[in-house]
Structure 1
Amino acid sequence: MTGRSEGVTGRFHATVLAAWMIAMMALVHAPPPAGALPYAAYLDVPADNADAEHAGGFSTTMTTDRAELRDALDVVRAAGVEPRRYSTLTRQYWLAVGAENAGIDLGEWEPARGLEANLATVDKVYANYLRLYNTHDGYWWTGMAGLAGMSFAAGFWDLDGVGGLLTVPGVHELGTGVGGALAGVPWEIADATARDVRLLATVGPALTRQDVDWYLHRLLIMQRHIFMDMVPMHEAYAAEGLTGIDELAAGGAYDDYVVDAWRMLDEGTQEGLSEALLRMASREQNQVIADQWDATAAGRGDVGRVLTYITTVGGAPDIPGASTLGEFRPLSVRADVNGQPTVLRTPLPAFNWADREPRWDYVEQDLVPAYRSLVRDRPHDAPRYLDVGFRPRAEQNRILMRLPAFVGQMTSGWAVGPA
């Protein structure tokens, strides 16, 4: 009796196990209702952190564990789920891959914590762009982002230092110097000078530590936003080629303009790589952070305009052949003085980096051509700039390291003469 009972029990357990396995196979290989999927929690998840303002990934409720995300991605792919339904999962996975490769903890990368808490991550972001350039053929945009990042990161360090030394070098000195220079020109010229310059002279000397901290927070958000948008594409292509890019696009994350850039990059021609570089730069500046620059320039009363203009004044990307922003478009002011057409020439930029059109003019007409000349026309020179230690080279770009000469350049060389 006991043996018969054990046999029945064994057959019962075997039947249950077989049924369970068949059910699981059906879940994986046939597209069942979403609620039946073992990874249903990863479907139709809104990207509540798409602008990168908080720690974590695109979804703050979804894990950033790379292995867990990969398991979920494998299952929904095998189940034939529509890519748009798991778009956030796809982007979160490739972001997790990128962050891990960069040595960045997404859970600790929180712009609201301030610059000091994020400074190591700031460096890792740009060092990672250079790593991507040096390990994947055709990743021209990441190389440019890394080189430009050297001066951008130096600007972070400068602003943090200025924030602690507002009464000594930096913002106050620059604002006071520009104010003194304006005071020495005819009032008609001073009155016609660009608003940003007049605000720098009047508001700049009164900026506070709180103003600088607010601006640093805005810059940290934008840096994170660019990483979150651009790095997943590069990691997906590195691992899966155009298939990875197409899946991201099918989920709605990227438009045809940038997807076509990847097709050009994939072809590997010099013309294709050049156009891909320009298109990725356009996505970065004209789509990813354009609204955030607008909001920053308009923020905190006149403070946003002053601090974004200071960033413009100090803008000197570490790309051979690229102009400083003041060299690209220097400020000249024309007015009638005592009935005579008169012009004031200055070393200051005639635009604010936060404004869309002149920012893109500079990127398209100066920055991209200079960088493209390096990597396309002089590839033997490129390693001198792109295969280097990030921090030591970035240190050379610090305004505070060259502050006396910098302030001298910005507050002298003002010349008034006949138009």
Structure 2
Amino acid sequence: MNVDSVPTLTWVLVALAVLALAALVTFVVLRLRRRGAAPLPPSSSGTGAGSGREGDGEGAVGTLPRPGGPGDGATVEPATPQFQVPETVGSRLVRLRSRLARSGALGQALLSVLGRDHLDEAAWEELEETLLQADLGIDPTTALLAELRTRIRVDGTKDPVAIREVLRELLLAQVDPSMDRTIASAPVLGADGEPHPATILMVGVNGTGKTTTVGKLARLLVAEDKDVVLGAADTFRAAAADQLATWGARVGVDVVRSEKDGADPASVAHDAVEAGFRSGADVVIIDTAGRLQNKAGLMDELGKIVRVASRPAPIAESLLVLDATTGQNGLRQARVFAEVAHLTGIVLTKLDGSAKGGIVVAVQRELGIPVKLVGLGEGPDDLAPFDPESFVDALLG
């Protein structure tokens, strides 16, 4: 070997060693940053950096001591500093209107009958059957068809376009656009005279997608620049608390959960409300166990959660999550929950099959409370405020 080449070879080896060390350090840093961030379905609006809000957490992901109170060792799981940017409300509405419009099976069935040259009794019976199969309910169906027959006879029209406009007007009246469908997210004055976060209680039976809906609602509120705390009061399923922690981590939201399975759900609800108050959050969303409406013990437990969560300040919203495809069974569920949880609104999931869209009218008429949110897909941002006009237009294609 040439002696003059030895210094050059030494420098080459030193440079390679430095590059290898730099690559190793970069790999370790990335692994530490990603620890604890389980993936959600990809958001249609992509991911982005944190909002920089207080409480987003800049340290290592772990658990913080619970805020105090009589809970069963509840802890706050801080949000990861890297989280997704939720889709805006306006963008959701545009996309969800498009989805509803593509599935207007009810409207197609109605208009195919109303477009005939002559509407005999057989045609009217067919219309009645179509509306009943869409879960509109007997009384709303009877009222709508009676008014439609009168309008057609008085106007003397056979024009399908004109008849469609009359049907749209009558359906819209049944959905009732005058109902207040806003989600209460403003601070509530507490018994101590201080402003407290708006508490939203989520209830429903097993299989309706309640925990997932809680996560999606958190994303919706974060998109409206609200500071949110989640309470994992479904203590019978460890997977439910883990699932909620994943949703919260991806939008920079802290989750209060118990350290042990089977803990008292009311205690976790208490700790979540207290944590929200101490951190200055805008909203606290409490997820409860999916329960069968005919199980007296479970419903009594829900009543206890309601009493405990409402002690510091009145509960702002009590939302029942219903599967839109359950039809009249969903109405039976709604009646029992209304007695226990003092419902203020309905969240309808799986409404993408709008052939069953009549359930919107039926449940509102039964309970006298509005459908406030609808879910139309599996994506993390497939939850949007319910808009009556867009819904009726989608039904009619």
Same fold (TM over 0.5): no
- TM-score in terms of structure 1 length: 0.28
Larger strand fraction of residues:
2
